Amino acid sequence: VGLNLFQSAVFMFYISLGKVTGGTAPIFPLDMKIDPETVYTNPLPHVLILTAIVVGIATTSLGLALIVRIREEYDTIEEDEILAIETELVRKENQTHGESMGGRA
């Protein structure tokens, strides 16, 4: 959540840098008669931020899906609890493997 807030702040800052005072959207008239005195705003910063927003949403969605999957598997999302579960599983596996080898591990 914190990274998403920071990311949104960076987006807003970058878009504000692309603002041109008195600038208009770079949409040319149908007759293509362009007044040379007209100041246009560069659309590139807005396009780049739109791309960054899409990538950010995809990354956040992937992270949340991963957290849901971890929660389903371990019934927790706490790192120390998952580590304890994994350690116990490895210990049991080694114990079972040692017994199947005739007591030799």
pLDDT, tens digit, 9 for 90 and up, residues 63-77:
999 999 999 999 999
pLDDT at 101 over 70: no
Domain boundaries, the chain: 2-74, 77-105
Q: Whole-prediction pTM value?
A: 0.66
Q: Where are the alpha helices (DSSP H) in 1-105?
A: 2-17, 44-74, 79-100
Average pLDDT over residues 98-102: 68
pLDDT, tens digit, 9 for 90 and up, residues 35-91:
888 888 888 888 999 999 999 999 999 999 999 999 999 999 999 999 999 999 999
CA-CA distance, 5 to 12, in Å (whole number)?
11
